[in-house]
Structure 1
């Protein structure tokens, strides 16, 4: 057999294997989508909507931590800030829910621009501490501001009609609205990560001095990632305010920032699916242990300790790194 023939056969086998991997991943995607579409008819819709909101929140945070290498302790400011703006504009201004969510996203993006401009001048623990300090400043602003109603928060937020047609007071209609927002947010994250901009962010994460030596304006790319992460976090926060029909100080507290870090670490940093799995685990524990005598925070802490000790890359990260994960074509690049 000639060398050319062998090369052609090798190329054909590689192409076939690649097609098989793509098909396997497509099948997983279709199964997940089918489960999401059928879920509200078998599971309590409010629980599912909470899970989707926090899953999008964790994925938006992972965009900054997993793909840019920046650990923020202040993402609750964007989540809660968008929730307040959405709740206020829908209730007091009478805007439609989609406009309220959009205004919340714009407010979160602007806040991300301001906070990011200050924070990206430092690295490592200093960056994390600056984001925490700025978020705490925003927390006390929300505590004192008149439109946030202080410790009472904004209550009884009307869901209204989507585009003036779809009544979001119907739980099933509200669920599919949240699902659509979640899928759009995930599509944006996927496109962002797999774009040339995303490739540069990964290079900054892996070796920032080398990225600088190649001529990239590193601070601008970091700021862009920070604003995008803040905007998507605001999207999750705005929708969450409509789901539960209130916005309170809990949404902007430092504990909320800690929760999203926990979700991302449990699922797997630097993976698209990992934060979704981590958010599902934490929200499920909170939901089903809330009415029991077990302290939720202690159980969550034990689960986190076990995952850190056993699954160093996170649960999904370890699956990607396993033989089965590699065989199915999932690669953990973190």
Structure 2
């Protein structure tokens, strides 16, 4: 009561300032208590190795800090994807094998299927491709527990060998041959792997058609999410959520060990860090179609991402999360 009487005795402006200070201090305390300061880079012992397809023989994954030894690493985050994964892999492999022939064998690649704690036969499907194409081309990283799409992409990137690193969704919603356009855009802003740069696939050119087909609620949530992305985190990128992004190895080294978000909003934090570090970003229109079986629950997933956007901005603003600066 004494504190309330004290507030009432103050002029309106001073009262407002006191309440604002209390709000900021309370928010800081709440964020400090609820924030995990460091990204989750922990691996269970089984997650450090991949099976070669030759019985139970296993070998350790390489590290992102190692020099590149391939042209491209494709990371495919997969959760309960035994049904949709084969068609995506078949399309990707047809493109990659043709590219290898066209370039006279100088082009090399690997595909890392990251099984994000699936309850179905996702890893089994992946291992069938390992046995068919060999472990130099296809590797399966199986998580002990579900981490989320962001966590799956991060660990796949940290286990890769490519000069360029692409992550693509397991549903095959983006036409894989559009990698040609995405890679061309990356090469224009990054002449070599030592130049940090990103080329992101974009569905923004399809937005008008999507608006016409969606319900009012879904359009409202979509526009609200886009506004929050622009207002809080990332500007200049029209589509932050398309699951088709290509990185130079140096960009991946800067970004993925620093990303905290494990769920759907990880793309936004990734691009937020990139813009803070002044990493060049190209955005390229890609062909995309909706595939049945999405793991997103439209209403709740959008709300969760909106909450994560606000927390991303506040945690960096209060210094609870920090961005590792580029070394000279």
Interval of TM-score (by shorter of Structure 1 and Structure 2): under 0.3
More helix by share: 1
Query: What's the TM-score, normalizing by structure 1?
Result: 0.27
Instruction: Identify which of structures 1 and 2 has the higher relative contact order when contacts are C-alpha pairs closer than 8 Å and 6+ apart.
Output: 1
Query: What's the TM-score, normalizing by structure 2?
Result: 0.28
